């Protein structure tokens, strides 16, 4: 089941609008803070869907494997092609269709594993 704008809560719609305003002002680092259970995953899934609709790809980083799995499920529920780069799992630049989103752990995506991705591969 994908998220539609009608499924978003007013504060999530406001958060998305704030993020988009930051991106319009060329802010490369934008932080969203929401308490547990308020839908950070829903918000970034919607942002990734919008980026896909603009022709871009998104990288999502998490600190724990459980969060990577949760994020991947949420992104796939938003009809986004998603791959995981974590531990023994490797996302591929060559797999067709090329993933619109890649979810990775911060600990995994460094050094050679980070270097395999072209600097401009992800829009966000």
Average pLDDT over residues 82-99: 84
Non-local (6+) Cβ contacts of 112 within 8 A are none
Q: DSSP letter at 56?
A: -
User: pLDDT tens for residues 39-49?
Assistant: 999 999 999 99
User: Which is higher by pLDDT, 16 or 93?
Assistant: 16
pLDDT at 1: 44
Find out whether the peptide bond into 95 is cis, omega within 30 degrees of 0.
no
Q: How confident is the model at residue 72 (pLDDT cuts 50, 70, 90)?
A: very high
How far, in Å, CA of 107 to CA of 12, rounded? 29
Mean pLDDT throughout 82-94? 88
């Amino acid at each position: 089941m994908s998220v539609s704008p009608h499924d978003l809560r007013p504060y999530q719609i406001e958060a998305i609008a704030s993020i988009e305003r930051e991106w319009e002002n060329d802010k490369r680092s934008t932080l969203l803070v929401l308490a547990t259970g308020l839908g950070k995953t829903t918000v970034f899934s919607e942002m990734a869907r919008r980026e896909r609709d603009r022709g871009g790809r998104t990288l999502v980083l998490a600190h724990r494997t459980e969060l990577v799995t949760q994020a991947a499920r949420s992104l796939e529920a938003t009809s986004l092609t998603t791959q995981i780069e974590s531990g023994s799992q490797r996302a591929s630049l060559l797999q067709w269709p090329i993933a619109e989103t890649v979810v990775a752990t911060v600990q995994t995506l460094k050094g050679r594993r980070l270097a395999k991705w072209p600097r401009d591969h992800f829009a966000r």
